[in-house]
Structure formats: C-alpha cells, structure tokens
A and B are shown apart, each in its own frame.
Chain A
Amino acid sequence: MFEKDVLQLIRGLRAHKGEEREYIQSSLRECKKEIKSNDMDQKATALLKLVYLEMFGHDMGWASFNVLEVMSSQKYPHKRVGYLAAVQSFRPDTEVLMLAENLLKKDLTSPDKNLIHLPLNAIPHLINPSMANSLLADLLPRLSHSHPAVRKKTIVTLYRLAVVYPETLRPAWPKIKERLLDEDEDPSVTAAIVNVVCELGWRRPQDFLPLAPHLFELLTQGGNNWMAIKIIKLFSQLAPLEPRLVRKLLPPLTSIIKTTPAMSLLYECINGIIQGGIMEVAAGTTEGDEVARLCVSKLRAMLVVQGDPNLRYVALLAFGKITASHADLVADHQDVILECIDDADISIRTRALDLVVNMVNSNNLQLVVERLLKQLKTAGKQSPVNEPENSRTFHEGVIPMADDDDEGTATPVKNKDQKSNQPPPLPEDYRQSVIERILEMCSKENYVNMDDFEWYITVLVELVKQCPSSSPSGTFGSAAWKKSMADAIGDELRNVAVRVKGVRPEAAAAAQSLLLLDNREEHFAQATENAQNVLSAAAFIAGEYAAVLPDAGAVMASLVHTTTTQLPTHALASYIQAIPKVFAALTSNEQVPWTDSRKSEVVLLIARITHFLEPLNLHPSLEIQERAVEYLDLMRLASEAVSAQQVDSENGGYAEPPLLLTQAIPSLFTGMDLNPVAPDAVRKVAAPESLDLNAPINSSLEMILQQAEYDTEYDSGEDEVRRFYYEKPSMVKTSYVKPASELLEDRDSGSASYQDTDRDSLLDPEALERKRAERRERYRDDPFYIDSERNSGTSTPMHNILRSANGSDLDVDAIPVMELKLDSGSGDSSRAPKPKAHKKPKRHFEITSDETIDGGEPTSSSAPISYSSSPSGRGGITQRGKKSLLEFNSAGLSALSLEDGPSAGSSSRGNAGSKLDFERRIQEEEELAKAMKEVERLRLEMQRQAERVEEPTEEGTVVKRKGRKKVRSGIAADEGQSLGGDDGIKKKKKKKKVKESEAPAAEASAKGEQEQEKEEAPVKPKKKKKRQVTFDE
C-alpha cells in the first residue's frame, strides 16, 4: 500500500542527492515486485517508473512481457503507458513482439481515434518484416480515416513499414498517391505525404517523376514553407533525371530566392539548385548565369551577416557543394570564406577548412596555408589537464542526480541562457585536422598547385612545431588516419626531397635543422615525442642527400649523440642507416690530402660511430640490431684501413686516402637514384616464366618439419648440419628481451607450427637454459656462430681474422681525446655551398611523378609513400564496412520498383506469384463472394428444379469434395420428395460457410511465411470452385 507513483519516484530521486544509485536500485526492486501484481493500476505505475529509469540507462528489457500486459489493458491511460514502454524499451530481439501483433491489429481497428494513435506511433519502432506483412491489411483502411491526424500518421507508419518490407508500397502507394492528388485533402496530411515522398524519392527518384507536375503546383502555390523545403529537396533528386524539369524549376526557384522571407526556404532553394545540378544544366544560358550569380551572392551575404553563425555554417556547407563544379566561383569569395577559418566556432571552422581544401588553386594556396599556420601558431594548445573534466562525463554514465539548483530547473525554458563568449582552445583533433588539410592541399595531384617548394619546406618545418601532442583519435578528418601527424609531415618532406630535385639542398637543410640537437628545443619544445617521428624522414633525407647537407659534420655529431638512442625505434633505425651515408660524404673526398690531422680526424669519427653503434648490437628491435651489426663491422674495416694507410711524409710526398673510404663505402650508397614508385607498380611486374610460385622451394620441407616434430634432441650429426643451414644464428638473442628471443629461437629450432607459439613459451625455462648451454658447447669452435654471451658481438671472428692478418690492434681508448671539429679541419671543398645564396622569386620545379611499369595510368594519389624505409605505421588502411549507428538499412526499398505499382491495378492480377498476401486475400474474398452468389443462385435454381421435380443432371459430376458429395447424395436421396431437397441444399450452404471461415484461418497460419508454395494451397480449392460454377452455367 506504500507503492510510489512516478511523481514520488522523481521526487525521491531528487531528495536522495548523492545516493541516487542506492535509491534507484531499491526503486527497481520495488518496481520488479509491483509489476507482477494483479492490479493493473499498480502494474502500469510500476511500468511508468521503469520507463523513467530507462531514460537514465537502466535497462528494462526483462519487463517486456509486462509491457505487453499493460498494453493489452482495457483502460486508455494504461494502454498509453504500455505503448510508451514498448516504444522506449523494445529492441529487435525482443521476443514478445510476436505476441503484440494481434493487439496492434485490434487497436488499429478501434473506433476510438485516440486509441488508434497509440499503435500508429508505436509501429515504426517495433516493426519487423513478418509483422509488416500482417499489419498492412489493417493499416491500409486507416488511410481513409475521417480524422486527418490518423491519416497522416498512417502514411508515415506505412513508410516505415515499407522500409522493412518494401512490398508494402505495392498496395499502399496508389492510395497514398490518391491522397496526395486529392485537392481537398487536409494540408497537414499533404505535407506529411510530401515528407514521405521526399524520403522515398532519393532512393528511387525515377518512380516519382510522374508526380512532378503536381508537386510543382504545390510548390508554386506556396503557403507552407516546410512542405516547400521538402518539395525542393525532392526536386533536386528528380532534376538530374529530367532536364526539362530544370527549365520549369528555374523561374519559381529564382522568384522564391528573391522574395521569400524565410531564410530556411531561401537556403534550401539555393541548396536544391546546387544539388540538383541545375547550375550545370543551365550553365551558358542567361538565366543560368543569373541564377548562379544570385545563389553565390546570397550565400556570400549569409556568410557576412552578423550574429547568426547558423547561416554562416550552412552557407559554407552550400559553398562546399558548389566547389565540385564551380571552384572558380567560390574562389571569388575567398576573402569571406577565409574569415570563417578564424571563426570562434569550431563547427564553422571545420566547415571552412573542408571548403578551402577544395577551393585552393595555385594563386591562393600560399595565402590559405599561411592563414591556417597563423591560426595554429596563435591559438594556444589545449593542455591535457583540461581534458579529464570532459572525459569524466564521457566514461561514467550519466546518473540522475538530485538537482540542487531548483531555481535553474524552474527557469522558464524560453529564456536563452548566456554563456561566456570565449572561444574554446583549439582541440587536438581540430589541430590535427588542420595539419592534415594543409598537407592535403599542398600535395594535391602531385603538387599541381605548388609554385614554391622552398616555401613549402619552411611550412613543413613549421608544422612540426605545431604537431598535436596526443595521438589522434579524432573525428574531424578521416577516421581511418592511423599514423601520427609527424609521420605524415615527415613523409611530405621526404616526398619533396625525392620528387623535386631542385629543392634538395633546401630539403637537406631543413632536415639538418630538424636533426641538430641544438635546435631540438626549438622544434620540439611544445610537442611531445610524438613529433619526433618526423626525425625518421629527416634522417633519411640527411643520409640520402648528405652531399648537399650544409653542415654534414654537425649532422653527424647529432646523429651519434647519446640521446639519439632514446628516439622511437623506427627513427633510430633510420638514424643508423643515415650514419654511414653521412660518414661517406665526410670522408670520401679524394682531393683532401691524407695528412696526419686528416687521419686522426677520421679515426676519431670512426671511433665515435663505433662507440654509438656498439650498445645497439643488443637492441631489442631486430632491425636496429641488424643495421648496427652491419655498420659496426663496416666501421671496423674502415678503421683498419685508415690506420694501415700511410700518411703524407713530412717532405711533401703525396699519400692517397684509403680506397675503402673513397671508393668502397660510397659505392655502397650511390648508384641508382631512389625514385618514387607508384603503389601498384609492383603488381605490374611480370613474373618470370620460369618462376613457379606453386612449386615448393624445398621439396623435403614436409619431411623436415615432421622430423623436427619428433627430434627434440639435437645430438645426431645429420641434424646438426641441417640446423647449421636452417637455424638463424642466435645473435637475435639478447639478455634483456628474453621472451621475444626465446620465442624466435625455439620456433627456428624446429617447432613444426608457426602459429602455436604458446607451446614454446610453455616450455620449462630450465630446459631451455640447458639446451642453450648445450648449444653453446657445441658451437664453441664454430666461427659462424655468434654468441652474445661470448662477447662475440663486439668482436666477430671475421674481425679476428683481419686483425691477426693486419697485425696491429686498434685500441679505441688509446686514441687521445681531442675536440672533434670536423668543419674546421677538413677542406671546404667537401662541403656543399650554402644553398641560401639564390633567392629567386619564382623557380620552375620539376616534380618527379611516381614510377610505374607499362606506362599505365600513373596513380596520382595525393601522397604515395611506397618507398618508405620506416618499418612501422605503414599498415594498410583497413576499411571497416561497419555501418553507422542509427542508420537503418533501406536497401530493399530502393530495389523495389513502383513502376507497375500505380498503373498495374487489375492487369497484374493473373500473376499470382507477384501478388501480396494481402491482395491475394482480397481477391479470394471477392471470389468467395462470387461463389457464394453462385451457390445461392444454384440453390434457387435447384429449388425451382426440385419444385418442378426435375432431376439435376450434370451438376454433381464435377463436385469433388467429400462434403459436397454427401450433400449431393442427400439430394439424390431426396430427389423423389418434392420438398425435402430444400433442406439438403441448406445443409450444403452451411457446410460451405464453415469452409469459408476455415479458409482465412488457414491463411493466417500460412501468412507469416510468405512463401509462394504455401500461399498457393488455399487458393487452389477456390479455383476449383470457380470452375465448377462456370461449368454449371
């Protein structure tokens, strides 16, 4: 007796401030109890409370049966609650939905118009195809309900039916059309129909062309702006299909634009003209030009109007749509558009940004980019500290809290509340989007708009500073953007350096400025290590174009600096690759005399590089390790060559620099130019005829693998040979990355499955250790076995051999420490001249496009990065086909043709296969009625015959049914008696009636299935009947 009603619940909620959770839980428990009660009032109250709590995220799916109970109550208020609960809580997988069907049908046919509204409102939320099929018959008659509100809701409900069950439109569309064409129809019903037609229109515009004249009339009559907007939207779909429509539409649209006081209608007119392609079709004619000018000038006016950001937003949207066809028209208004880039409102900025990307040409590119850069520079970065506040609401669900500010909740809603006018700081994802767009604009179509690459390089360097600090998770641009912005900037730098030979010195200088440690503060002060990803590309450029580096020595000093090892892995890998290249550039000059000082300088350089590389031998990243080991040995060779080479004698005798430095090392890195390769070029490489990809490389692989399965011990001699060839040297093993290396090791040493790595890791570590010790023992004298624990990493056998051959040891530590001043000591000729010398206003740049095979279409995608040397972040963009939330699938609807719908009427009747269940039933009913009439006629006839005591001759022969036979026999028996025959015929009629009432039932059961085969069953007998009847005549 203490149940709460919903008001008390809400009050209680507001009173239990701070402990809402407990209160809600206890209320939910109460509701659970109350909803099981037999008292319908209590049930409905409990349900209403549940609906209220559902709003706050407390699922009420468990109560779906109770929802149904309340829905089926006799009282309207209960029903109302029940229907509301159904709308709010039923999901596609709610099982009781099937049970609701009959209730819906019943309420739909209720004489009470208020009651009809409930199912009409609810059906769109609940409908599924099988229900649609059966509800259709009850919905259609509502289209001619006396009350307009019922009619318009029925129309919309039918549309939603059609979305899940497209066949709906076959019977429904002619009736809807009839309503639309009815001049006396209530205007709000007409408007609802237009809304529905507009929704249908974009799916199958061709089906609605015949309606165009009538819609045109509705448009020109004016009156309802809402409807006019929808009609214009529909026409923009129809116009591309019917060029004549464009000429018809132009005058009224122009006059609306000029005269309407409603901004929304004005905007939609312009939008319709743009979207319908009316501008294109009408281009050239005076009218067309006029309308284009008119549209653009109105849009401009919307942009500059003060105090209405909404107009600015939609105008930018419209401008964005024009750019596709009339970029020049839009570019005329770049002044006002660029203003919007600095708008306080982030939504408007984003729109403007989208717009300018498509608007840029070679004339305004620099202007636009400078403007965006300025914005990035001046706007403060959003500090990460600000974010937790937002993310709190994001992660925790919203729980209903007792409102503390009753004044606030009681403020009249109509008053607009005032908030601070301060623009929010640039959010990270917007910042990222800006950078992304700058890169996109500049690199578009292989730099078609780019005049000044020197400028571009400075922009790129500047962008590095503006990199967002956090990893992207943003939504402003494409969500598929996986790599960091710094990567993208680096790729652009590299792209320019590789493609544009003319600016390589500048690119190299830019790379140098990024690499130099002294500048690091400046470039990466604000940005976190994320921005350092750009260093990977910078190192590549510095290495590849070391010859044009302004100061190779300084770059080298930065490359081998101890802080370098803390860089991200792929940047470090790129650094290591660049080191020998820069080294080659520094030492390979043959012209420099090989003097003492030169020699010690080179020795020192080698020592520094060796010092840098040595620890990297054991780096966890395999790539770094491999490169380090390779170049370390190269450096050892070089150092031996240097120390072996005689220097100039004091008396001026000329000594050659070592050949290894001048010839061998440079030749490792020169030769072919690295050119950009089209992404699909590799696929075009024809496979050599002799290559059979299906042939096994090693025919005994299977056997070997099997063997490996059984041979877990390695002591047989034959196995050792195999292992020698097939096992990777355990160089990969490092002491501090045990799991990975162990995994690798074990996999290589003969595990049959590459997938089943778990098995390896499950191995007893002790056993592993034992095996490793065994192996060490076995390979103790193997010169090719490099064991990290023997310290062979720092002195390879090869080195040993060389060392013993040369006789003299290099003792790195013995070299006296002196200041490394590479630029002062060596000749100036080894350095490229400072590239800043020329300052031409305009240069002609040759831009290398992607290399490809066959001369096939070079893919001019904006930024092909197929030659990338960085190992990570290059994963293909995975396109998830996931559809958006809230999106509904209307594919079936667009597949349905209405063509024969309106016109077919009776003509397609013969084609039973294409008939709807519903139509079939109507047809059957008609046939039944006909048959009934015939039977009646027959009865009269027979009566008359009986009266005349005449024996019916043929009638009985065709009657096949059992019941009929009985009757007939009855007649036969009675034939002698003049009056008894009447009785028998009556009986027969009754039987028929029974059968009739059975038929719909059978139908109802078969209805759900929709299958033709099943449907034919009830049709057949009637056909027979018909035959019989005709026979009788």
Chain B
Amino acid sequence: MINAVLVFNNNGQPRLTKFYTQLDTAVQQRLISEIFTLVSARPSSSCNFLPLPPLLAPSNPQPESNDAPSLVTYRHYATLYFIVISTSTESPLALLDLIHVFVESLDYLFEDVCELDLIFNFETLHAVLGEMIVGGVVVETGREKVVEGVRAQGKVAKRPVNSSRPGIGAGMWAGR
C-alpha cells in the first residue's frame, strides 16, 4: 500500500502532505526534509527511486516486511517534486505512472497547471488525491474519472484573481 504522498518544490517547501498512517507533525516535517535532502541531490539523469531516508530505514536488517515502507518513488516536474512512499506490494513502475496520472489530472483541471495553482488551491489538490488514493490504496487510475470525481464535488477554482499568467503574476507579487 501507499504510506504517504508528498509534494514539495525545489526549495523543499511542502505543497501537499498526505500520510496514510498517523504521524506526528514534527516527525512528518523531519521526514519531508530528509527526503528533500536526498532528492535534491540527484541529477535529472538518475532513476526515480530513492534509497530509504534514515527515518524510514529499518533498524534491524530483517527480511523485509510487506507492512513497512520500502520504496520511495519520486518524479520531478518543473519546480515540483512528487513523492510516493510505499510498501513492497506496490509496483515501482506503476507508481511512476500513478504520479503521472496525478499530474495529468491536475493539469487538466487547472489547464497548464503550475506551482502557483497548487499553492492557492491546495484543497483541490487534496480532492484530486482523494479521488485516486483512499487510505493508501489506489482507487482510480483513469484521468477522466478522477477529473469527473473532483468536478462533481464542486467548482474547481481557477487561478487566484489577478494572477492569470506567469508574467503578469510576477509583476503583481513584486509590489507586495
């Protein structure tokens, strides 16, 4: 099963955190920064699988249990890292595809999604994830159905007012 889905940007600032097992906020933050440390050091040419961060590394070298997280898969899109922590019962390559479906769905909902969309619409981000993964189990892998499910829950807000396109947006933030 999937233990956690994380999204953070190139600076390690979280944009989405979803843990399917309850974890203290402080521990969550440590885990995020550990993973960020690992992931940010990797060149784009390397593969999309991370060694387990120290927090998750099994303390004793036992035969791996299917209950313990053993796989950290990530994908890097523009300014964002999408990370999935899962147990060995998930297929590594399928998880990569899953992340892609997630991003595609977001892209479809926001039309050319960018980090700003996700910052301002993090509720929608959660909703999209909720349509795909429930309780750590994948429930939907088809983009159309995910989008349909999210739209059924309510209107998806477009970009926040006044910040329609990158160029304009930059000018806008500069004044504040």
Is the pair A418, B44 in contact by a Cβ cutoff of 8 Å?
yes
Interface size on B, residues (CB 8 A): 110
Is the pair B116, A398 in contact by a Cβ cutoff of 8 Å?
no
Is the pair B77, A414 in contact by a Cβ cutoff of 8 Å?
yes
Which residues does chain B contribute within 8 Å of A416, judged by CB atoms? 44, 76-78
**B60: which of A309, A407, A408, A881 is its contact (CB, 8 Å)?**
A881
Interface size on A, residues (CB 8 A): 118
Binds B, one of A389-397, A721-729, A784-792: A389-397
- A583 CB within 8 Å of chain B: no
Minimum C-beta distance from B131 to chain A (A): 8
Interface residues of B (CB under 8 A from A): 1, 3-4, 8-34, 36-37, 40-61, 65-69, 76-80, 85, 89, 91-94, 96-97, 103, 106-107, 112-116, 118-120, 122-123, 126, 130-131, 134-142, 145, 149, 152-154, 160, 165-166, 169-170, 173-174, 176
- A195 CB within 8 Å of chain B: yes
Whole-angstrom distance between the alpha carbons of A396 and B34 in the complex? 11
Is the pair B79, A153 in contact by a Cβ cutoff of 8 Å?
no
12 chain-A/chain-B pairs, Cβ below 8 angstroms: A59-B26, A87-B126, A114-B153, A271-B91, A345-B43, A398-B8, A408-B10, A409-B115, A412-B78, A413-B113, A884-B57, A884-B68
**B134: which of A121, A398, A418 is its contact (CB, 8 Å)?**
A121
- A882 CB within 8 Å of chain B: yes
* A-B contacts besides A77-B154, A885-B23, 17 pairs, CB < 8 Å: A15-B176, A84-B123, A124-B136, A152-B140, A160-B137, A225-B94, A309-B46, A394-B37, A410-B115, A411-B166, A413-B106, A422-B43, A479-B59, A479-B60, A884-B58, A885-B69, A886-B85
A interface secondary structure, majority: helix
Is the pair A55, B61 in contact by a Cβ cutoff of 8 Å?
no
Minimum C-beta distance from B87 to chain A (A): 8
Q: Which residue of B lies closest to A481 (CB)?
A: B61
Which residues does chain B contribute within 8 Å of A887, judged by CB atoms? 3, 21, 65, 67-69
Is the pair B56, A884 in contact by a Cβ cutoff of 8 Å?
yes
Is the pair A160, B135 in contact by a Cβ cutoff of 8 Å?
yes
Is the pair B170, A410 in contact by a Cβ cutoff of 8 Å?
yes
Whole-angstrom distance between the alpha carbons of A60 and B26 in the complex? 11
Contact flags A45-86 to B (C-beta < 8 A → 1, else 0): 000100010111111110000000000000011001100100
Whole-angstrom distance between the alpha carbons of A90 and B48 in the complex? 31
Is the pair B50, A347 in contact by a Cβ cutoff of 8 Å?
yes
Which residues does chain A contribute within 8 Å of B96, judged by CB atoms? 264, 310
Is the pair B142, A188 in contact by a Cβ cutoff of 8 Å?
yes
**B173: which of A15, A81, A89, A113 is its contact (CB, 8 Å)?**
A15
Whole-angstrom distance between the alpha carbons of A890 and B67 in the complex? 7
Is the pair B92, A398 in contact by a Cβ cutoff of 8 Å?
no
Minimum C-beta distance from A430 to chain B (A): 9
Whole-angstrom distance between the alpha carbons of A434 and B139 in the complex? 41
- A961 CB within 8 Å of chain B: no
Which residues does chain B contribute within 8 Å of A888, judged by CB atoms? 21, 67
**A476: which of B51, B89, B153 is its contact (CB, 8 Å)?**
B51
Contact (A417, B43) CB under 8 Å given A188-B145, A409-B114: no
Is the pair A198, B77 in contact by a Cβ cutoff of 8 Å?
no
- A815 CB within 8 Å of chain B: no
Binds B, one of A6-14, A668-676, A697-705: A6-14
Which residues does chain A contribute within 8 Å of B36, judged by CB atoms? 393, 398
Is the pair A886, B134 in contact by a Cβ cutoff of 8 Å?
no
**A195: which of B106, B119, B137 is its contact (CB, 8 Å)?**
B137
Whole-angstrom distance between the alpha carbons of A11 and B174 in the complex? 11
Contact (A397, B11) CB under 8 Å given A196-B137, A423-B43: no
Is the pair B66, A202 in contact by a Cβ cutoff of 8 Å?
yes
Whole-angstrom distance between the alpha carbons of A348 and B42 in the complex? 12
Between B50, B58, B93, the greatest number of chain A beta carbons within 10 A of the residue's beta carbon is seen for: B93
Which residues does chain B contribute within 8 Å of A884, judged by CB atoms? 56-59, 68-69
Which residues does chain B contribute within 8 Å of A226, judged by CB atoms? 94, 97, 138, 141
Between B15, B22, B33, B42, the greatest number of chain A beta carbons within 10 A of the residue's beta carbon is seen for: B22
Minimum C-beta distance from B148 to chain A (A): 9
**B61: which of A92, A192, A479 is its contact (CB, 8 Å)?**
A479
**B126: which of A84, A92, A225, A309 is its contact (CB, 8 Å)?**
A84
**B13: which of A59, A81, A113, A401 is its contact (CB, 8 Å)?**
A401
Is the pair B166, A406 in contact by a Cβ cutoff of 8 Å?
yes
Between B24, B59, B60, B91, the greatest number of chain A beta carbons within 10 A of the residue's beta carbon is seen for: B91
Whole-angstrom distance between the alpha carbons of A400 and B32 in the complex? 13
Q: Which residue of A lies closest to B47 (CB)?
A: A309
Contact (A124, B51) CB under 8 Å given A188-B140, A411-B115: no
Chain A stretch 84-107: residues in CB contact (< 8 A) with chain B: 84, 87-92
